[in-house]
Amino acid sequence: MTFWLVTVLAMLAVLSPVLVLRPSRRDQRLGGLRQHARQAGIGVKIAKPPLHDPPGGLVSYCWRYPQAHPGPLFLLVRDAYASAALKPFDTEWRWRIEPLKPLSQDSAAALARLLASLPEDALIVESERGALTLWWGESLSLEAFETCDKAMGEVRDRLASPHVEKGLSGRLP
């Protein structure tokens, strides 16, 4: 009897690291989501978000602007995480950094539609010269993320397009 008890305990000691290192269902889902995003050309980065005292687990997904057509500089924060002193964009989002040149009506409307369609864990939408970035908690399924990807890509293209209208050569790739 003692022999079997020792044998079972030894087997558990050998197998326990294997069970602990196995990714959870959530980890598998996030890994698949991130891999899909990278294959679609979206940059995925785990870094500190541009937010004071951010909640844990925010990851940035970056849709790159064409090099010849950089994007405008702005930063929008979900109202629940923004200071009341910041200028509102709409009822749920506030400008932390407002664009130097106002967005065209079409671009502002497309951005408003995008913001309304984002999941609740999307806290920051940031635009820099190189990329349009979404900081979020990765709550969407792969299928729902494809809709978000399409919407982000359309807004990115629209934000870059005013540069083309002002006389820069070429079309957006």
Confidence of residue 19 (pLDDT cuts 50, 70, 90): low
Rounded CA-CA distance 83/96 in Å is: 9
Sheet holding 124-127, edge to edge: 43-45, 59-64, 131-136, 124-127, 74-78, 93-97
Rounded CA-CA distance 102/85 in Å is: 20
Mean pLDDT score, 41-57? 88
Residue 98 DSSP code: -
Which of 13-22, 85-94, 119-128 has the lowest average pLDDT?
A: 13-22
Interval 130-142: pLDDT, tens: 999 999 999 898 8
Structure token digits, residue 104:
């065209």
pTM: 0.79
Interval 115-160: pLDDT, tens: 999 999 999 999 999 999 999 999 898 899 999 999 999 999 999 8
Residue predicted with more confidence, 9 or 69: 69
